[in-house]
Amino acid sequence: MIRRVLTLDPSTYARHTIHSGERVWAETNCYVDLWVELLHALGHEPRAALPFTLTLDFEGDQWTFFKFSLNDILELYGLEVQELAIWRPLVAHIEEQVTRGHPVLVELDSFYLPDTAGTAYQLEHTKTTVGVTEIDVAARHLGYFHNQGYFHLTGEDFTRVFRLDADRDEIVLPPYVEFVKPHPARALQGAALVEASRGLLRQYLERVPSTNPYTAFKARFAEDLAGLMQADIKVFHQYSFATLRQCGACFELAATYFEWLGAQARCEVAAAVEAYKDLANAAKAYQFQLARAMNRKKPLDLTPLDEMARRWEQGLEAARTVAA
């Protein structure tokens, strides 16, 4: 018997505007993209929960792997997220929670996820988080959110992704799993949602990095360049994902947040939007420059990072003006 939290069809599912419009960074990271679509499908506005993007920092060898705050998700949308202890077969737990109306966020192997065709599906074993809202164990069927959309998988992919044919004596560590428990009466809407979101903006502005993260990134990037110039394209993808994609995609979401807030609260946000969009575009352009430099084994000019540092400071000043 099929169990559903939502009745959705991948062929007709309408993605949130974050994923359906023209974007500099089509994807952010699997956790954020998943939450954007899950919140949207549940009838909530994910842009209200984006003030966390302003706290992005350079963490020494990578930028912050940014995520929605679970506390914010509870405060704004009345959605409580709890860890799920795995003591039975994973599919049994998922079926249990989906039956109870709880979406399940679970780490799966992209090798068996058809929506990753061309990147990981049947090509590479990589961990990613999906949001399950539909399951039929007997029919080997799964409905799940991943990256920018909603998808189905069936048959052999279902069997393999849940290791239903695995040797029972094989030792396999269970994945990290969460479930989402709705409290509809706590969900905010309209003016209350906008005001709570603006309150979060003020809170997060108190937690922004105390020093310019682009200055720290430039210093570390200069140290990393020698090794990068000797590395292959796989290292480029890993390095750029942990650095330029994280800061670029995150600050594009910051621009998206201020666009939404300006429209909802009717406040002046142009300076903040422009600064954060500039950071998103600059990171994308610099990623291409890094790829060319690594391919040609040629030196890379670091001065664009100085301009990014300047725009970060201007964006922060503009954000504080909006929050005042």
Average pLDDT over residues 36-45: 97
pLDDT tens per residue, range 190-227? 999 999 999 999 999 999 999 999 999 999 999 999 99
Mean pLDDT lowest for which of 81-85, 128-132, 231-235? 231-235
Q: Are 64 and 31 in contact (CB under 8 A)?
A: no
pLDDT tens per residue, range 110-125? 999 999 998 898 999 9
**C-alpha to C-alpha distances, 238 to 80, 235, 264, 277, 291, nearest whole angstrom:** 32, 5, 38, 23, 12
pTM of the model: 0.93
Residue 262 in tokens: 């300006």
Q: Where are the domains of the chain?
A: 3-43+79-182, 190-323
Q: Is pLDDT at 45 greater than 70 in this prediction?
A: yes
Q: Please state, in angstroms and rounded to a whole number, the distance separating the CA atoms of residues 208 and 164.
A: 45
Q: Is pLDDT at 279 greater than 90 in this prediction?
A: yes
Q: Which helix (H) or strand (E) holds 285?
A: helix 270-296
Q: Which of 52, 1, 33, 38 is nearest to 180 (CA)?
A: 38
Q: Please state, in angstroms and rounded to a whole number, the distance separating the CA atoms of residues 40 and 18.
A: 10
Q: Are 103 and 38 in contact (CB under 8 A)?
A: yes
> Cα 18 to chain center, whole Å?
11
Q: Which of 29, 62, 30 is nearest to 244 (CA)?
A: 62
Q: Which pLDDT does position 166 carry in this prediction?
A: 72
pLDDT tens per residue, range 53-84? 999 999 999 999 999 999 999 999 999 999 99
SS3 231: coil
Q: Which of 56, 43, 45 is nearest to 214 (CA)?
A: 56
